Structure 1
Amino acid sequence: MSGSICPLEWRYGSTEMRRVFSRRNIVDTYIAVEAAILKGLEEAGLAPSGCWSKVESLKGTLDPAEVDRLESRIGHDIAAIAEIISNRIDEPCSRFVHLGATSYDIVDTTWALILGEALKLTRARLIEVIKLLASLVEKYRDTIVVGRTHARHALPITFGFKMANYAYELTRSLQRLRELNERVVRSKISGAVGTMAGWLKQGLIVENTASSHLGLKPHLITTQVAPRDGFAEVIADLAILASQLERLSLEVRELMRDEISEVYIDTGEVGSSAMPHKRNPSVPERVCGLSRVIRGLLVSSMENIALMHERDLTNSSSERVIIPHVFLIIDQMLLDTISILRGLRVDEVSTSRNLELTQGRIMSECIMVKLVLRKGYSRIQAHELLRKLSRESIRENKHLREILMENGLYDDEIGECFDYSKYLGNYSELIDRVLKYVREQIEVGSM
């Protein structure tokens, strides 16, 4: 890889995703679309029968370098493809290649097919992430840990409950990615300004035949190009997914801090070249770093929506960069998240220790509620009292239980608050609700 420049060529993303966006696959898909349009021309009576299969047979035979050489001479990649195809097949079929079509009939329909492939692979990776989260939810369903808000100890939760929140969020992304098929993965076969004029009132036949052959539904109406809001939606949904994966990795990083030490990733990786003792969260950190790149590319995708009149070319160059980069990056992020979750372990000694760090003060809400419901206090009175007693606990370095005893407020009912397992609310039912949703969406998403 000594000649590589972009790390996506070798460092980030999978072989499968690189194949989807490879020059070879793009050229072959261009040929497939040209063949499908020619099949549409045949069905409409605008081209001789049997021509489309001759074009189809060229898949895998055109050297992308040959296309690039001709493009460098004539300045147009699709014109180069059409000329090479025409030169490879006999008369009379060669006369009808690309007839009535515009370059973006080929380009945008190719994008649709490639996006379909890339989204399918992305969904499969995401489903694996969600399944791993669901298994962690079950494994640690009842493992009590500190819940934190504003990075401060709040109330007890379970680690399974914590993971269920991530499973829910990521399953919502799975839904979003699946819905893209309906709005975005569509053919654009409508000619130079979208009216199909070059097909002499037979355009709907050409469009329908070609689209059906490719396994796509057509856009209902277009200009010379498919609407760019769809492309922006793809990148936006992947940016949301990237941010969710970052949130999960950030949580793992925070919980791995020596001061917290509630989780660790069971791997044999070297943490530091200088400090042998280090067990660094390098993979979660990579997820967080890559997420920033995707969010940055989202801006350019949004700017591509505003094209002039029936189209201009400002979207073309940026999309060639944005789309493969975003998919390869999210691919790496998902692979990294799978690795993280497979190795994620909870240190239950540390979680038990951390539950006691605030000397019972995390149960102040429980005590406040009991004072209101059982002892006749108003909520405001109880809140102010517990706020005062909590400060006293900190100042005197005493357990809140002891402070309550000194103030004549402790009894067996109040004492139950210090049994963390009795103040977890409806956590188990909420987990079950999420797992049911996850199972339903995975079943649909796998189709």
Structure 2
Amino acid sequence: MAIHPIEFRYGTPEMKAVWEQEAKLQNMLKVEAALAKAEGEIGLIPKEAADEINRKASTEYVKQERVDEIERATNHDIAALMKALQEVCDDDAGEYVHYGSTSNDIIDSSQSLQLKESIEIIRAKVVKLIEVLIDLAEEHKDTVTIGRTHGQHALPTTYGMKFAIYIDELMRQLERLDLTQKHVCVGMMTGAVGTTAALGDQGYDIHMRVSEILGLNPVQISNQVVQRDNHAEFIMTLANIASTLEKMALEVRNLQRTEIMEVGEKFDPEKQVGSSTMPHKRNPITGERICGVSRVIKSYVNVALANNPLWHERDLTNSSSERIILPESAILTDYILNLSIKLFSKLDFYDENIEHNLNLSNGLIMAERFMSKLTQKGMGRQSAYALVRSCSMDAYAQDTGLREILSQQEEILKYLTQEEIDETMDPHTYLGSSTKFVDNVISRAKDVIGE
């Protein structure tokens, strides 16, 4: 019976396939095969034995059921793997399985293969999301909306700016992913305390060759394990990506509030149900799920950091938690990336509400511009600020428009005509360098993801 939501509710088939039990077994067999191949090339074991191990190091021959059966007796997963592989090898080839290595040479190197594949899947999804956001930024580069700080109306901005900020942040996440892959996706064949002593004088060459066969960079130095600051970096990078996706989803959720309703999730009125009791509801469920799942991913950062300080050359405290946090973080990050692509590919825009909200403050959002205009016309900046602030407070108190209050001030009319006052109060023309910023972000993103 399925228990964990990853089993039946969350996750994509491609990422689940990376972490399923048989895939994990196949990767461990791949490392055992690489070890035998390297040793056979150098002459540490008979080449015929190395060839036989490579032929049989596959889940076609080594079955998960048999490995599990042996592990129940040995209470050791790698000892079970060794025996199951030995059993299917012809002649005496099985005698040379795992020669000169320790369990974590197999575990960490095979795990690196899983992490590498996971990062590649996640990276492709981040690129896809960036492409979706580029389309939105280009389409809405000139869609003027109200910018909000502290939840209050601040100054005009554009939806192009909103989407370009997300693009820029996701570009940094790509850089973090690439650096993380370099650090964590490493091969290791260094033995019980990292010295390669069991492999003799050829130990270093075996270590280097195994990594080459596996397509991994060889770890520079280790004890019994690849150092867990690397794995903590992996979890922190995924948590950082999750925080970006949560930020984006949270903005959509807020903008879909009934009293704002500028953009919202696509809703199918023919099929979709918003509430079991309120027939009118159209809830931002995709955004809410992204935000909720991101909390789980971020919570694993503390566990990953705690896994770095181990006793001496290694203890076992990292192992059990990593069996949970590594696959779950990868699966859940990939999942909410899929949700984010879906969400932003099908946003609904409510243009009338965008314009309505832009003018909701009755001109108060143009106070900064008016202050700057007076300064440009010769009034001192501090004097201009004090005057416009006084007029703004009067507009609040009288519940009237700022334009009307400003137009009644003799001090202002010394510097500006009524026509200039009207022009200054237009929020659609107070956007500064927003177009340039958006264009620069889009151009850079296209250059990088097009490479």
Q: Same fold (TM over 0.5)?
A: yes
Q: For 2:200, give the aligned amino acid.
A: L
- How far apart are 1:60 and its partner, in Å? 2.2
Point out which structure has higher relative CO (alpha carbons under 8 A, 6+ apart).
1
Gaps of 5+ in 1: none
1:416 aligns with 2:423: yes
Q: For 1:149, give the aligned amino acid.
A: T
State the superposition RMSD in angstroms: 1.2
Q: How does 1:364-379 map to 2 (within 5 A)?
A: 364-374=367-377, 376-379=378-381
- How far apart are 1:267 and its partner, in Å? 2.8
Q: How does 1:232-381 map to 2 (within 5 A)?
A: 232-268=232-268, 269-374=272-377, 376-381=378-383
d(CA) in 2 for partners of 1:211, 1:420: 60
Is 1:12–1:329's contact at 8 Å kept on the other side of the alignment? yes
For 1:260, what is the secondary structure of its paired residue? coil
For 1:147, what is the secondary structure of its paired residue? strand
**Which residue in 1 is equivalent to 2:43?**
45
Q: How does 1:120-135 map to 2 (within 5 A)?
A: 120-135=120-135
**Which residue in 1 is equivalent to 2:408?**
406
84-93 vs 69-78, greater mean Cα deviation? 84-93
d(CA) in 1 for partners of 2:236, 2:48: 42
**Which residue in 1 is equivalent to 2:387?**
385
1:13 aligns with 2:11: yes
Q: For 1:37, give the aligned amino acid.
A: L
d(CA) in 1 for partners of 2:63, 2:95: 22
1:395 to 397, 411, 425: 397
Q: For 1:364, give the aligned amino acid.
A: A
Gaps of 5+ in 2: none
**Which residue in 2 is equivalent to 1:183?**
183
- How far apart are 1:192 and its partner, in Å? 0.7
For 1:270, what is the secondary structure of its paired residue? coil
431-440 vs 219-228, greater mean Cα deviation? 431-440
d(CA) in 2 for partners of 1:219, 1:204: 11
Residues 52 and 388 of structure 1, relative CA distance in 2, 3 Å threshold: farther
77-86 vs 403-412, greater mean Cα deviation? 403-412
Is 1:43–1:209's contact at 8 Å kept on the other side of the alignment? no
Is 1:37–1:210's contact at 8 Å kept on the other side of the alignment? yes
For 2:47, what is the secondary structure of its paired residue? coil
d(CA) in 2 for partners of 1:436, 1:78: 50
**Which residue in 1 is equivalent to 2:103?**
103
Q: For 1:60, give the aligned amino acid.
A: T
Is 2:37–2:54's contact at 8 Å kept on the other side of the alignment? no
d(CA) in 1 for partners of 2:438, 2:190: 49
For 2:175, what is the secondary structure of its paired residue? helix
d(CA) in 2 for partners of 1:415, 1:170: 40
d(CA) in 2 for partners of 1:217, 1:298: 25
Q: For 1:426, give the aligned amino acid.
A: S
| Cα deviation code 1:167-215 (max 9, x no counterpart) | 1111110111122221111101111110000111101221122111111
Q: How many residues get paired?
A: 441
Q: For 1:187, give the aligned amino acid.
A: G
d(CA) in 1 for partners of 2:429, 2:393: 24
- How far apart are 1:126 and its partner, in Å? 1.0
For 1:266, what is the secondary structure of its paired residue? coil
Q: For 1:315, give the aligned amino acid.
A: N
**Which residue in 2 is equivalent to 1:88?**
88
Identical pairs, percent = 39
1:24 to 15, 22, 25: 22
416-425 vs 190-199, greater mean Cα deviation? 416-425
d(CA) in 2 for partners of 1:262, 1:326: 33
- How far apart are 1:277 and its partner, in Å? 1.2
d(CA) in 1 for partners of 2:258, 2:387: 34
- How far apart are 1:273 and its partner, in Å? 1.6
| Cα deviation code 1:347-395 (max 9, x no counterpart) | 1100110011101010111001111121x22222221222111111111
| Cα deviation code 1:113-161 (max 9, x no counterpart) | 0001111111111111111011000111101000011111010011111
- How far apart are 1:414 and its partner, in Å? 3.1
Q: For 2:420, give the aligned amino acid.
A: E
For 1:154, what is the secondary structure of its paired residue? strand
